[in-house]
Amino acid sequence: MQSHLSPIIGVGIMLINAQGEVLLGQRIKADETTTWCFPGGKIDQGESFSQAAARELLEETALNIDPQRLNAFCLLNNTSAQRCNSTVGLTVEIQALEGQQIQVTEPHIFSHWKWFAFDQLPAVLFAETGAMLDLWMQKDLAEHWSVYHIKY
Q: What are phi and psi of 133, to 5 degrees?
A: -65, -45
> Which parts of the chain fold into alpha helices (H)?
49-61, 127-136
Distance CA 91, CA 50 (A): 10
pTM: 0.92
Residue 98 lies in a domain: yes
Residue 14, domain member (yes or no): no
Domains: count for the chain: 1
> What's residue 3's pLDDT?
60
Q: How far apart are CA 12 and CA 53, in angstroms?
A: 7
* Closest C-alpha to 121, from 139, 103, 133: 133
Q: Is residue 135 part of a domain?
A: yes
Tell me if 70 is assigned to some domain: yes
Which amino acid, residue 144?
Answer: H
Question: Mean pLDDT by 10-residue block, N- to C-terminus, for the chain (152 residues)?
Answer: 76 95 97 97 96 97 95 92 87 84 97 98 97 96 92 73
Domain with 117 in it: 21-149
